A and B are shown apart, each in its own frame.
Chain A
Amino acid sequence: MIDADVTKTHALDLLERMIFVRRFEQKCAEVYQQQKIRGFLHLYDGEEAIAVGAIPVLRDDDAIVATYREHAHALMRGLSPESVLAEMYGKATGCARGHGGSMHLFSAERRFYGGYAIVGGGLPIAVGLALAEKMQNSGRIVGCFFGDGAAQEGETHESLNLASLWKLPLLFLLENNQYAMGTALERHAAVPDLVAEPRAHGIEASTVDGMDVLAVERAVRTAAEAVRTTGTPRFLQLVTYRFRAHSMYDADRYRDKDEIARWKRRDPIELLATFMRQRGMLGEGERARVEAEAMARVEAAARFAEDAPFEPIEELGRNVLVREVP
């Protein structure tokens, strides 16, 4: 952990958030196995420090663009766990009325512009959102999350160039979990140092330990401030690892167990918990209380989702267009 000057209250808040995300994802896996939710499901275990460290640091009115592995981002943005889980249940009270599912969470009210399931597809949209902020002189910025797989998409190069060329208030947040689905970084990137790419486009970029929530928080705060004051883009590579398989369909044959075990020793939750214990910030029984509260909230959200109504089939054709042509 970085030697951060952090209060107990704040550290505990971060720990609670990461544990909540972990338990939320665990519940998703559980109800998926019970076949209560379906489709593709991509879980965030191991990567919690990024969404938890990054999103609360941004302003509430900044815009967020995320990927298909975005439950944590939506939750950290303030979407209720009830609305996110109900979305996965395909319910009308879901945050996209059951039309999006796990990969497409949205909230206009929270300026959460969604989960995108075509890898790299969200980046040009983030460029456009940032262009809108610039043209409207709003003082707001855009945070755009994407993975190491997206780094090899043409749209990513196009977006880096556009953001730099047009001097847009856009913070690129690369969640490098080191696999493009099942293909390891060194097998999909000729230059595995992924900050070379933004630098080639004239964007200041740095690499951050994505398992250290305090490091993520500090880096994102600094970078977001730079974006806001200069009106130009910044790029952070947050190095992380997903503990679970890519999706529920993935047999995870391409990673060896030692590698996974090695990374689990740097579990972001345990890193922070250890740091807190060493500083006397995590009292006896406090961890158990945090875990219990997280589980209780998740269970309540699951009950809400189970009991929620489905969208009537009659509503299916609604919202294809804003204005239907009679």
Chain B
Amino acid sequence: MRRVTYREAVRAALRKALEDDPRVFLMGEDVGRYGGAYACSLGLIEDFGPERVRDTPLSESGFVGAGIGVALGGMRPIVEIMTVNFSLLAIDQLVNNAATLRHMSGGQFAVPLVVRMATGAGRQLAAQHSHSLENWYAHVPGLKVLAPATAQDAYEMILAALEDPDPVLVFEHQGLYPVEGDLDESATPSSPWRAAIRRRGRDVTLVAHGGSVPKVLAAAEKLATEGIEAEVIDLRSLRPLDVTTIVESVRRTHRAVLVDEGWKTGSFAAEVCAVLVEGAFFDLDAPIARVCSLEVPIPYAKHLEDAALPRVESIVARAKELVPHG
């Protein structure tokens, strides 16, 4: 066990993957000489060379499609799309090809592709660099979508994604990279496809994924000081979604606040809400609440950006509205 940043955990997973399997290689914009836009692959090109830590031109559709092709051809690529914002230039390859090839070919082909990308807002990067669009990808059968919120999960999920025979997208919230956490590389990995209960509580269930998890944990601590015990669920995997863990939690707490950095309309929180309505409707003691980003392009100015995103205070406030005062 050691203390590492989330970024270091990602890097440790990439290094282990490159060491363990000669078919594995990294490919993406600035992953090599630059060391990765978020420094996730810093130092790897020195140890593994430019063939296996492969810088690409700014051709998202080209190199993501090449990732699909090279996976079809027997390699195990880890493709880094610098951010989810740029993945929109590659969405054709991900949705029309990576997700469909298995089924469309009658089961003949597999696409063991890992795509990592940074997601989320909070760094004053304005409207074109602050998207949270993991729900778009989680909509698509044929893809698997992971959102590690901790250093341990970042490490384990990248390796699990690589071991998986299907295309797996790993969303790393850009705000998490400098966050420190425990990493035990020798621990038996937990299933990446299960939600985790990060905090036990009886009064309300707070559901989040990725970069919203630390906010929700902070909200739970505040609520505790006011006598409200919140249960915190970290979804971890958006597709497949661990419906059982979410529904069982709400059956115990009878209340739910769903936190999602995506816009509320058509958000992943809307999917979780639907799952709860289907699976826990008669257990609910209050309407399900959602705390999402406001319906505006994410602005640059700090005070405006803060106001647009889910905040600890807004999560606390919504939770308190649901729980009857003692």
Contact = CB atoms under 8 A, between A and B. Distances in A.
B69 interface: yes
Interface residues of A, number: 45
B187 interface: no
Given A94-B106, A99-B103, A125-B97, A155 B72 contact: no
B70 to A, nearest CB: 4
Contacts of B61: 124, 154-155, 158
A127 B51 contact: no
Interface residues of B, number: 45
Interface stretch (B107-115, B202-210, B292-300, B312-320): B107-115
B108 A106 contact: yes
B70 A118 contact: no
Interface string B86-106: 000000110011000111111
A121 B65 contact: yes
B189 interface: no
Contact of A100 (B56, B67, B97, B105): B105
A99 B104 CA distance: 5
Contacts of B104: 96, 99-100, 104, 106, 114
A159 B67 CA distance: 12
Interface in A152-196: 154-155, 158-159, 161-162, 165
Contact of B69 (A95, A99, A104, A125): A125
Q: Which of B92, B141, B142, B237 has the most CB of A within 10 A?
A: B92
Contacts of A155: 61-62, 65, 92
Contact of A133 (B73, B112, B141): B73
A99 B237 CA distance: 28
B103 A128 contact: no
Contacts, number: 149
Interface string A20-50: 0000000000000000000000000000000
A132 B93 CA distance: 18
26 contacts: A96-B104, A97-B107, A99-B106, A100-B105, A104-B104, A106-B106, A114-B105, A121-B65, A121-B96, A124-B69, A127-B65, A128-B65, A129-B70, A129-B73, A131-B73, A131-B75, A132-B72, A135-B51, A135-B75, A158-B57, A158-B61, A159-B65, A162-B57, A319-B106, A322-B110, A325-B144
Interface of B: 25, 51, 56-57, 59, 61-75, 77, 92-93, 96-97, 101-110, 112, 141-142, 144, 164-166, 193, 237, 240
